[in-house]
Amino acid sequence: MLRNIRRATLQVLRSCGMSRLVANSRWRQQRLLILCYHGVSQEDEHLWRPNLYMEPTVLRQRLEILQRGKYDVLPLNQALEQLRARNLPPRSVVITFDDGMCDFYHHAYPLVKSCGFPVTVYQTTYYSDFQKPVFNLVCSYMLWKRRGSLLNKGAELGLKPPLDLSTESSREKIVLQLMDDAEARHLSGGEKDVLAARLASALEIDYQDLLRKRLLHVMNQQEISELAAAGVDFQLHAHRHRTPMDEASFRKEIHENRQRLRSLTNSDPVHFCYPSGEYHWQFLPWLEAENVISATTCNPGLATPGTHPLLLPRFVDTSARSAIEFEGWLDGVSALLAFQRAAKPE
Ligand SMILES: [Zn+2]
């Protein structure tokens, strides 16, 4: 209901030319919109997680809107420098992708490249070294594939009934059980993958086929190097996609992530994105100690020259957003009207 009212209001503002006035205003020129994307579907991932995946056709439409509306898509580093110097061009935008999944290589990058837009990838690196599907994601995806049924062979995997696959929350409870069990038993990446393969077998899913297609895989080292050489900007997203609450472990995540990116890209990453959008005040001095100069959240908003550089907002664009909502954020109307709804971080 609220969403329909929001869309109708944005439509009216667009029709009467108000959106364009805001887009070309001095107010908007002093602000930067950082777009956040995650995965682009290879198959049906957007139906499983619409807040995480979008179809390639939707991404193409978004990029066409950026071209048609003559938004100024800037490289992240340059945009942040110009934001501080208060000399951004009109309608400035930055495009970022989180995680660096292999669907970025195959589906998203070719589209972004065809538009000539610069792009930043916040790359997590553990699963880049270890070329298997991301454990929690692949478990969740496979359970979704068998949604509506019961997992009869769950006890063989150490799972406690009821193993109802009918709702998202009941499926996520099973994923949590699997993750807790893996952590309690200190399973290695390889052992977790064996567990995922056993779950696939219990669900009668062809796990080898999933591996062949590299569904839910992070880009491998060769793909990262190739894209870095082609001009993609790779930045920090924690080695194991986590932000521990103690300083030594937190900084180790940054350090390991940076080490790998340095060797793969021949550049020194200094921009960070909080995994799952989760941040705490104590992270800020730890990031500064690691010479990180910017960090992005999943809080919706436009960045201003006064925004803390380690707490930069972003608009998380998903399949659930309409084109009119997307344009509302590009123009600045959505932020101006305080249509700020907490984006669900992934
Ligand atoms: Zn992430």
CA of 61 to the centre of ligand 1 (A): 23
Per-residue pLDDT band at 342 (split at 50, 70, 90): very low
Tokens of 151: 């997992």
CA of 102 to the centre of ligand 1 (A): 13
Q: Is the pLDDT of residue 340 over 70?
A: no
The two counts, helices (H) then strands (E), for the chain are 18, 10
CA of 65 to the centre of ligand 1 (A): 25
Give the bridge partners for 208, in sequence order: none
CA of 109 to the centre of ligand 1 (A): 17
CA of 51 to the centre of ligand 1 (A): 12
Ion ligand 1 — residues with CB < 5 Å: 98-99, 275
Q: Is the pLDDT of residue 63 over 60?
A: yes
Q: How far is CA 233 from CA 36, 72, 83, 152, 267, in A?
A: 14, 17, 19, 46, 9
CA of 98 to the centre of ligand 1 (A): 5
State mean pLDDT over 328-337.
Answer: 89
* C-alpha triplet 127, 98, 339: angle, nearest 5°: 150
Q: How far is CA 82 from CA 24, 74, 75, 117, in A?
A: 17, 10, 11, 17
CA of 85 to the centre of ligand 1 (A): 29
CA neighbours within 13 Å on the CB side: how many for 207? 18
The DSSP result for 79-109, as a single string, is HHHHHHTT-PPTTEEEEEEEE-BHHIIIIIH
Q: What type of residue sits at position 161?
A: P
CA of 328 to the centre of ligand 1 (A): 25
CA of 245 to the centre of ligand 1 (A): 17
CA of 218 to the centre of ligand 1 (A): 11
In contact, 100 and 224? CB cutoff 8 Å: yes
CA of 263 to the centre of ligand 1 (A): 21
In contact, 272 and 254? CB cutoff 8 Å: yes
CA of 140 to the centre of ligand 1 (A): 16
Of 241, 333, 231, 326, whose CA–CA distance to 278 is shortest?
Answer: 241
CA of 38 to the centre of ligand 1 (A): 7
pLDDT at 185: 93
State mean pLDDT over 57-71.
Answer: 97
CA of 126 to the centre of ligand 1 (A): 12
CA of 276 to the centre of ligand 1 (A): 5
Over the chain, what is the mean pLDDT? 92
pLDDT at 4: 80
**36: which DSSP letter?**
E
In contact, 95 and 35? CB cutoff 8 Å: yes
CA of 124 to the centre of ligand 1 (A): 7
What pTM was estimated for this model as a whole? 0.94
pLDDT at 325: 92
CA of 8 to the centre of ligand 1 (A): 32
CA of 16 to the centre of ligand 1 (A): 38
Q: Say how far apart CA 250 and CA 42 lie, in whole Å.
A: 32
- 210's CB contacts (< 8 A; 6+ apart) are 133, 138, 142, 200, 216
Of 292, 226, 223, whose CA–CA distance to 253 is shortest?
Answer: 292
Q: How far is CA 194 from CA 172, 208, 237, in A?
A: 19, 12, 26
Q: Is the pLDDT of residue 337 over 50?
A: yes
CA of 100 to the centre of ligand 1 (A): 8
Q: What sign results for the dihedral spanned by CA atoms 284, 268, 271, 306?
A: positive
Question: In terms of C-beta distances under 8 Å and separation of at least 24 residues, what long-range contacts does 307-314 make, across chains too?
Answer: 308/284, 309/80, 309/84, 310/272, 310/283, 310/284, 311/279, 311/284, 312/34, 312/80, 313/34, 314/34, 314/35, 314/36, 314/96
In contact, 287 and 273? CB cutoff 8 Å: no
In contact, 82 and 92? CB cutoff 8 Å: yes
CA of 345 to the centre of ligand 1 (A): 9
Q: Is the peptide bond before 162 cis (omega within 30 degrees of 0)?
A: yes
Q: Is the pLDDT of residue 204 over 60?
A: yes
CA of 278 to the centre of ligand 1 (A): 10
- Per this entry, what is the length of the chain? 346
pLDDT at 17: 83
CA of 54 to the centre of ligand 1 (A): 15
**160: which DSSP letter?**
P
Encode pLDDT of 123-161 as tens digits.
999 999 999 999 999 999 999 999 977 777 767 777 777
